[in-house]
């Protein structure tokens, strides 16, 4: 049995009382306000004085803000989520300075995620009952699955989605266990649109296209919203909630499908090989952007990576320029230009290939080479005589390529 002690978040839906909903809504607003104030202060300090303001300085600012008449209401909610949002801002700047993310942006009242994070000093968890700071009664949580035996949450995050639903996420220590995969088992995955994934075994898993199925329902809800006068009226709020519910339905079904698929792949294989796709650039294709977004390849890759980390498996990414579709997996001959409408082709060696299955097999072979040498693998395009060659050329790969880093 493969087992790792990892931090895992267990998410549940809950139904707050009117008083709890009002308290949480105030907390969300204060968290957003503090984040925006701290971001403005840090931006001003850097713009005017080239000074980097750290978490300790913004924490002192928060104390001063609470003493002013204009911001005295910040003292009415728990201080823990306010301190946590300053830590999140510090992390956002850390990622920016290390060129892993863009410059932090201000939170919007209507568009930003409504959430508040509590550490152990901001909640009490006893006998399966969770009570947050500033609240007299425990939350009415729907325990869809139990927490690990003996587990106690280290942090609790409360959120409300666009459909008006309330969720609580509890981060706990867990001993992740899966049966050992068969020795040497590995699979290559080619991501697509008609078939969401094609495996090197030849199996194709159809793309359920959840967004396409609910497109008419979403369009109707959006038309109704567009007819409402802009502002904070109750009718517009109701129409916005209808749109949010359709989006939530699509996201929930897509996430459920991806969880089942990725868990199966990680359960059955010790090594999973995928392509390092630049989804952001692919979304610029106006003809395919909607279908690519609906496939949600980035979320699928993220799930594969953190589940592999949990269960002691390995995810390998191969160079995005590796010509997996045009390379014959039987003899290694590299074909010429191959448009997307070509789904089957025959190599000079006489082998007839399904485009996606052939690509998955080549991805697996390249991934195993990546595991052996640690770099991206790309076949030479031709020999000096002009003929294709199967000789492997090892090319330096950027930090994000090659063997993927574990994710928690």
Name the more confident of 401 and 197: 197
Confidence (pLDDT) at 4: 61
Average pLDDT on 165-182 reads: 84
Give 112-152 pLDDT, tens digit per residue: 999 999 999 999 999 889 999 999 999 999 999 989 888 88
Q: Which of 302, 319, 336, 295 is nearest to 370 (CA)?
A: 319
Return the active site residues.
190, 275, 356
* pLDDT value of position 324: 85
Task: Decide if pLDDT at 63 tops 80.
Answer: yes
pLDDT of 123 reads 96
Instruction: Give the residue-averaged pLDDT of 21-41.
Output: 97
Exposed/middle/buried for 407, CB within 10 Å: 0-12, 13-18, 19+?
A: middle
Residues 6+ apart with CB under 8 A from 98: none
- The kind and range of the H/E element at 205 are strand 204-206
Mean pLDDT, residues 41-70: 93
**Between 182 and 407, residue with greater pLDDT:** 182
**pLDDT band at 321, cuts 50/70/90?**
confident
pLDDT at 364 over 60: yes
Q: What is the C-alpha separation between 388 and 230, in angstroms, rounded? A: 62
378 pLDDT exceeds 60?
Answer: no
pLDDT at 284: 83
pTM over 0.85: no
Q: In this predicted structure, which of 162-176, 215-229, 281-295 has the lowest mean pLDDT?
A: 281-295
pLDDT at 10 over 70: yes
Inform me whether the pLDDT recorded for 390 exceeds 50.
no
Name residue 395's beta-bridge partners.
376
pLDDT higher for 175 or 81?
81
CA dist., res. 282 & res. 296, Å (int): 12
pLDDT value at position 206? 92
Strand ranges inside 28-140, DSSP E: 114-119, 123-126, 129-132
Buried b (16+ CB within 10 A) or exposed e, 105-129: eebeeeeeebbbbbbeebbebeeee
Look at residue 395 in the predicted model and tell me its pLDDT: 36
Ordered DSSP codes for 158-194? EEE-TTS-EEEEEEEEEEEEEPPPPTT-EEEEEE-SS
Better-scored residue on pLDDT, 11 or 327: 11
Going by C-beta distance under 8 Å and a sequence separation of 6 or more, which residues neighbour residue 405? Answer: none
Distance CA 109, CA 94 (A): 24
Whether residue 177 has pLDDT greater than 90 = no
Q: Are 279 and 297 in contact (CB under 8 A)?
A: yes
């Amino acid at each position: 049995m493969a087992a790792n002690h990892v931090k895992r978040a267990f998410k549940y839906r809950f139904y707050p009382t009117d008083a709890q909903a009002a308290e949480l809504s105030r907390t969300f607003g204060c968290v957003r306000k503090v984040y925006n104030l701290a971001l403005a202060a840090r931006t001003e300090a850097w713009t005017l004085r080239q000074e980097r303001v750290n978490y300790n300085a913004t924490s002192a600012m928060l104390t001063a803000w609470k003493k002013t008449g204009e911001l005295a209401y910040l003292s009415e909610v728990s201080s823990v989520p306010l301190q946590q949002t300053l830590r999140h801002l510090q992390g956002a700047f850390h990622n920016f300075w290390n060129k892993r993310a863009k410059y932090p942006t201000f939170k919007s009242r209507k568009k930003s995620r409504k959430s508040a994070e509590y550490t152990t000093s901001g909640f009490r968890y006893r006998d399966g009952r969770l009570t947050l700071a500033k609240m007299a009664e425990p939350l009415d949580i729907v325990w869809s699955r139990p927490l690990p035996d003996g587990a106690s949450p280290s942090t609790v995050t409360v959120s409300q989605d666009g459909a008006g639903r309330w969720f609580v996420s509890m981060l706990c220590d867990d001993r992740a266990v899966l049966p050992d995969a068969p020795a040497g088992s590995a699979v290559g995955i080619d991501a697509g649109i008609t078939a969401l994934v094609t495996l090197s075994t030849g199996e194709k898993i159809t793309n359920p296209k959840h967004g396409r199925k609910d497109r008419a329902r979403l369009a109707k809800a959006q038309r109704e919203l567009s007819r409402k006068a802009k502002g904070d009226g109750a009718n517009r709020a109701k129409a916005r909630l209808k749109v949010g519910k359709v989006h939530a339905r699509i996201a929930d079904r897509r996430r459920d499908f991806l969880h089942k698929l990725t868990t199966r792949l990680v359960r059955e294989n010790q090594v999973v090989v995928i392509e390092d796709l630049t989804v952001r650039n692919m979304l610029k294709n106006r003809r395919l952007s909607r279908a690519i977004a609906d496939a949600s390849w980035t979320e699928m890759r993220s799930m594969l990576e953190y589940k592999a980390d949990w269960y002691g498996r390995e995810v390998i990414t191969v160079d995005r320029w590796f010509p997996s579709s045009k390379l014959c997996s039987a003899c290694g001959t590299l074909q010429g230009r191959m448009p997307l409408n070509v789904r089957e082709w025959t190599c000079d060696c006489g082998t007839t290939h399904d485009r996606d299955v052939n690509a998955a097999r080549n991805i697996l072979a390249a991934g195993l080479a990546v595991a052996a040498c640690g770099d991206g693998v790309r076949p030479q395009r031709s020999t000096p005589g002009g003929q294709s060659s199967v000789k492997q050329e090892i090319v330096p790969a950027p930090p994000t390529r090659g063997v993927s880093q574990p994710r928690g």
